Structure 1
Amino acid sequence: MFAKYRQVSLIVRILIGLAVGSLLAVLLPQATAIGLLGQLFVGALKGVAPVMVFFLIMSAVSGYQSGKENHFGSVIVMYLSATLLSAFAAVGASWLMPVRLVLPKAAKVAGGAPQSLAKVLEDLLTNAVANPLAAVVNADYLAILFWALMIGFALRLASKETRKVISELSGALTQVAQLIIEFAPFGIAGLIYTTIRETGFAGVAKYGQLVALLVGTMAFVYLVVYPAMVWAMTRQNPYPLTFWTLRVSGIPAFFTRSSAVNIPINLKACEALGLNKASYAVSIPLGGSANSGGAAITVSVMTLAACATLGIHVSFPLALILCVLTALAATGASGIAGGSLLIIPMAASLFGIDNDIAMQVVGIGFIIGVIQDSVETAVNSASDLLFTATAEYHDALKSGHPVDIKAAVAQAAGKPGHALRAAKAVQDA
């Protein structure tokens, strides 16, 4: 039965959960037990997220191999720069169009908001060195980040077998999180039931504003910011390559909602462009974690929406810290559907937002995830292909070799079968 349940697209299941939860809120407003599904879902995420983040970061750092000969300097710079610029764009959009959420427990933490930058920095430093076990138990994400980095660097001196165990534990925890997300339709039904029951449909309308802000920011980043980066690297018209990558990689990613699943599609697209296989065979999988501009936008917008709801003033220095922290955290976002939502509590903790409130924000993220996560994944995956191609063209031009990006795209577009067959293979799987 579970296998048949999973055969149905997660997007379809979430839509059904939204419809069922809304209908039950109208027909059975006194059946409060339905809301328990939402509490269980958020509670499960709250339980697994701190442990998963700890092992993901620790595994990534311990498995890093330094000193290897490679030619990925340009693509890595583009990945990291794009993620940081995306965070800046999200902060700017949130300032221009602030959105307030419906959080039943908001009043509980409004009085605990930090009052100055000095206080935030003091809390940042003192919380970062808290007991690592207590940090995982209490979901103190700043301390989790600090100790995961420290232990990860120390584990680089350990044996290969030890590092393999850490990597496998990280993979196992990711699978646990994915299993919990499989039951998201039930949790979302409970969450939307509780929201409509307590706030009415007016509260749900706020989600439409949030979705518009997220999607609008992601569209601006991919259609304006990223092309500007491509032009700066190549001094050629960036839009033929931008639109082609969006069509070939972004559309399949929109429906798979997983950067990891979309990797084979990007590899075939790189082949169609005639790129160097020795380069893209590494840079495309690397982009699944290192290039997370869409995730940075989601985390920044959701965090600032929580701050606006709680009455927390975000000054420019605080926003700058948020951008850097979000960019760093987004590079570790899991490649599974909804993975970026699990790092919202880490960014929220910067402003003294209670973990219970942060997980309510995560729950809202899953409610709007039908659109938000699909667009986010499309931005992340398509930009992996965009920046991989741009980096190679940049290095070729720098070495004095002529490159005509428009002609390369036209040639690749004349052979669309590569990417389409890859997309169909992933969907069939």
Structure 2
Amino acid sequence: MTLRSDPQPLPHFVSDLPFDPAESDDRAGALAEASHLRLMWWKFRRHRIAFLSLIFLVLAYTAVLFVEFLAPYHQDTRNLDAIYAPPQRVHLFHDGAFVGPFVYGRTQELDMDNLRRVYTDDPAQVHKLRFFCQGDSYDFWGMIPASLHLVCPAKDGTLFLLGTDRLGRDVLSRLTYGMRISLTIGLIGVTISLVLGVVIGGLAGYFGGWFDAATQRATEVLQSIPTTPLWMALAAIIPVTWSPLLVYAGITVILGLLDWTGLARAVRSKLLSLREEDYVLAASLMGAGAPRIIGRHMIPGFTSHLIASATLAIPGMILGETALSFLGLGLRAPITSWGILLAEARSVNIVALYPWLILPVVPVILVILAFNFLGDGLRDAADPYK
């Protein structure tokens, strides 16, 4: 006589398994054989906002590789006939007929009462956009000379989709170039803080004793100092004679060195509990050294939590660079970042007269929100109790 027990309830994400449940006799078997990362992926896909944020960030970081090609102009190209020009609208129809993507030409007048330039669309000038075209010359990644762009203005026209600044430079092109600096500085800074947090927190949690006590006091001191004033003080130390590349490296190191404390505390607390596990004791009895035990046995046990923590730390890095550059203590010209672009809009009069200059704040908000949603999704997916 065979006794049959009722099937155990399966997790709520089983409906998203990558196979047809009707064709499977044992869905629980698929769950039992799945790796931890695969289970995380199944749970993460159910978090729709986090999944969409992941797609958005992948597209953004892919665009970072091709900013010269995506930008309509070079970041330093000036058009003296279009200083503080408002954004141009893209049209498809002219006089009821389909023409394709185009912009109208403009006429410029001086408003002597308000001391500003006034631009008016001229319907008689139809400037069709060109795609995969030759435009401003550039060095792709500073190495390969090229002039191919995704979209270009007409031969005798302009294309300022987000307007221009005080020097007649296209805001969209400069925003696209600034994306490379602002997005990569977060990844590099988090990599530095991740390495420091894992190494220092791992040693403190595994060995304990005086090293753990010293590490805890150091992290408490650093976390008690207000972040922004500390960033400003350290950024102000960077010599003004440094090249833009060295300034970029210096700001990145500063952001990384000051953000490792939270991650180190999380790693320490996790290792304090893991070092009492049987497999850690077995590895120690077999002669494994501390670096091997920490790196090969203990750290992989909570890699998913490290990934989630690092994802949530990247927005802080991006905001730190943006704030420092906005205050004039971060990156400097000729490097372009979102913080440098926002520095153009520090004056209330500028914002009132030329509001398109604050448009670089939009990608900052979108990227920060995307990283926060992604981090929340990864944290929920890594939680074994959800």
What TM-score results when the alignment is normalised by the length of structure 1?
Answer: 0.23
The one of the two structures with greater contact order (alpha-carbon pairs below 8 A, sep at least 6) is 1
The structure where strand makes up a greater share of residues is 2
Name the larger-Rg structure. Answer: 2
